[in-house]
């Protein structure tokens, strides 16, 4: 019977049972199992190494035991709620939700400084990946050419320079 007719879980279960019947490891199915066990030494050592890596980890905030994260679920929820309240309070005050200091740019949620920062980060990431620059001026939507330095902050100077030749 093939994997297509019996389902993935049943197929894997059958392969593992065949391996145990041969005396091979239940997990990797290729090395001989330890005497009196279903697993080989390498698979047992790998499981122990993973357990040792995560044993004794504590939440950064409250010190509760955690497995694979830096914070426990309760502290993560508290932190998320606290951050949402801060963002909502900033928006209610008429400020940028990211920096909470400056008013947002008209028609946008963030201030000019935060928008510029995010655009610069995105451009740097694209450059590091080898992509050609595609940033456009937000004012006239023209393609920003790196050699001209045209962006929304220098839009008027760039347009004047183009008109004078």
- How do the pLDDT tens digits run along the chain, 165 residues long? 555 677 888 998 999 999 989 999 998 998 999 888 889 999 888 888 877 766 778 888 888 888 778 889 999 999 999 999 999 999 999 999 999 999 998 888 898 888 888 888 887 787 777 766 555 665 565 555 554 555 555 666 666 666 665
72 φ/ψ angles, rounded to the nearest 5 degrees: -75, 165
Q: Which residue has the tokens 């655009």?
A: 119
C-alpha to C-alpha distance for 24 and 10, rounded to whole angstroms? 19
Instruction: Determine which helix (DSSP H) or strand (DSSP E) holds 156, and give its type and residue range.
Output: helix 155-164
C-alpha to C-alpha distance for 45 and 34, rounded to whole angstroms? 12
Q: What is the value of pTM for the model shown? A: 0.44
């Amino acid at each position: 019977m093939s994997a297509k007719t019996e389902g993935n879980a049943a197929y894997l279960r059958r392969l593992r049972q065949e391996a145990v019947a041969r005396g091979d490891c239940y997990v990797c199915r290729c090395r001989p199992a330890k005497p009196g066990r279903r697993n080989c030494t390498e698979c047992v050592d790998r499981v122990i190494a993973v357990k040792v890596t995560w044993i004794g980890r504590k939440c950064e905030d409250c010190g509760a035991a955690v497995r694979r994260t830096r914070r426990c679920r309760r502290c993560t929820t508290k932190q998320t709620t606290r951050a949402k309240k801060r963002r909502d309070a900033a928006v209610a005050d008429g400020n940028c939700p990211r920096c909470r200091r400056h008013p947002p740019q008209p028609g946008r949620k963030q201030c000019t400084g935060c928008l510029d920062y995010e655009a610069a980060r995105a451009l740097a990431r694209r450059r590091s990946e080898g992509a050609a620059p595609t940033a456009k001026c937000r004012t006239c939507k023209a393609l920003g050419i790196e050699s001209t330095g045209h962006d929304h902050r220098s839009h008027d100077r760039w347009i004047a320079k183009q008109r004078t030749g």
